[in-house]
Amino acid sequence: MKGAHSSTRKKVVIRRLDKALVKGYADSDTFLSADGVEILNLEGRLQLVPTDQIKGIYFVRDLDGHRERPERKTFLSRPRMAGLWVRMTFRDAEVLDGLISENLLAHEPDGFLVTPPDVYSNNLKIFIPRSALASMEVLDVIKNGARRPYQQVRRARRSPTGVSAQIDLFSPTGQTEAP
């Protein structure tokens, strides 16, 4: 029975691609449908927002947010929670880091449920539709909460992965080694 328990309704702010905001309440288990996202808006009416118009669905602590507090969009160091550390670039060139489940079978076919980098912000989780993204890059796989300085992670990502980075197991082509 869809929406039978009011305790499953969570506060959400839908950020549309045209920069408009839609505030309301969504059923955390069944908010996605083939037609879009259905929320109970602040006027008490059910409203359907098509998925292709959504940049993100923000599950929030407070519908008004914290305007005086700037929100961090990238991790300053390696995250402490387990998961895949990803960097998402939206179609409008905005960049956002986050953590997603490392179990790729657990992801919705329409998008990703992301834990944002700023744990003290108003945003608890964000659902990012695939259609809102230009690209997504996995920066690291976090197995435990051990921290590693961000500079080490950046160096690891920049290290070459081509032939020159390989260890010398074989002699160069056309040369033979003397016995």
**Mean pLDDT to the nearest integer, 156-176:** 50
How much of the chain, in percent, has pLDDT values that exceed 70? 77
Q: Give yes or no for a contact between 126 and 56, defined as CB atoms under 8 angstroms apart.
A: yes
Tell me the whole-structure pTM to 2 decimals. 0.73
**Mean pLDDT to the nearest integer, 100-118:** 87
How far, CA to CA in Å, does 108 sit from each of 32, 34, 130, 143, 170?
A: 9, 12, 10, 22, 44
Q: What is the pLDDT of residue 102?
A: 87
